[in-house]
Amino acid sequence: MPTIEFDTTLPSTRQVQNLIKDKNAVEMKLLTGDTLNGSLVWQDPNCILLVQANGQKTTIWKQAIAYMKPLE
């Protein structure tokens, strides 16, 4: 199985890393139409972990994300 490189020079990767570091709440819209709100904990080349206010942890495949934006 080929290894996927995690390119930290990409603007999208840096943006997500900043959201994780700053513990900003985000709104994440999935391609299914579902919307999730919470804080990002980590990312890898394939997935992102979102923790909702109730403590629910959800691992989301990046391919499933339509958009993600900080909540203000």
Write the pLDDT tens digit of every residue in 38-71: 999 999 999 999 999 999 999 999 999 999 999 9
pTM, full prediction: 0.85
Domain coordinates of the chain in residue numbers? Answer: 11-70
What would the two tokens of residue 46 be? Answer: 């394939």
Q: Which CATH number fits domain 11-70: 3.30.930.10, 3.40.350.10, 1.10.3720.10, 2.30.30.100?
A: 2.30.30.100
What residue ranges in the chain does DSSP mark as E strands? 25-30, 35-43, 47-51, 57-61, 65-70
Cα distances from 13 to residues 26, 60, 64, 66, 71, in angstroms, run 15, 15, 16, 16, 18
What would the two tokens of residue 41 be? Answer: 């904990």
